Amino acid sequence: MVFETHLYSWSGIGTLKLKEIWSKQPLNRICANSIRGLDQRAGFLTTGVNAVPLIMTEFGFDQTGSTVEDNSYYVREDKVQLDETFGLVDATWHKLRYPNFTDKFQLLQRKNQDPTSKLSNAYIMYHPLT
């Protein structure tokens, strides 16, 4: 059995306003609270005597740059092929939406990996054409 989790800029915010979270608090506090929330909601699955695999299949933020606090999730409003700005690949599914994604993700891997480990803890897998 493998469990799955998602983490977005609005994850766990509930009824609080995004503007209050993202534009009026120190980023270190926002990140610490996000990580703490992820550990409480999903990370605990990977620890203890009954630990199970956990995969984060979705994470991100709105990349349109239309608001300071990250914008709200898109509304379809009967529009065909509305662009998914949270996606890993662009609307054509032929290239990465953010060309430096793999470089940024590797930085995240290094920050979260045991410095004494010789093995990678993660494997980047995306299939733009499948």
CA–CA separation, 28 and 91 (whole Å): 32
Is residue 128 situated within a structural domain? no
CB 114 within 8 A of CB 91: no
User: Is 14 among the domain residues?
Assistant: yes
What are the phi and psi torsion angles at 77 (to 5°)? 45, 45
Residue 76 placed within a domain: no
Which residue did the predictor score with more confidence, 31 or 108? 31
Residue 34 domain boundaries:
3-67
Question: Looking at 5-14, 27-36, 47-56, which range is the least confident one?
Answer: 5-14
> Number of folded domains in the chain?
1
Say if 119 falls within a structural domain: no
**Residue 89 maps to a domain:** no
The reply to whether 78 falls in a domain is no
**For 72-91, how does the pLDDT look when each residue is reduced to its tens digit (9 = 90+)?**
444 455 665 566 676 777 76
- 3-class DSSP state of 60: strand
Q: Is 5 helix (H, G, I), strand (E, B) or coil?
A: strand
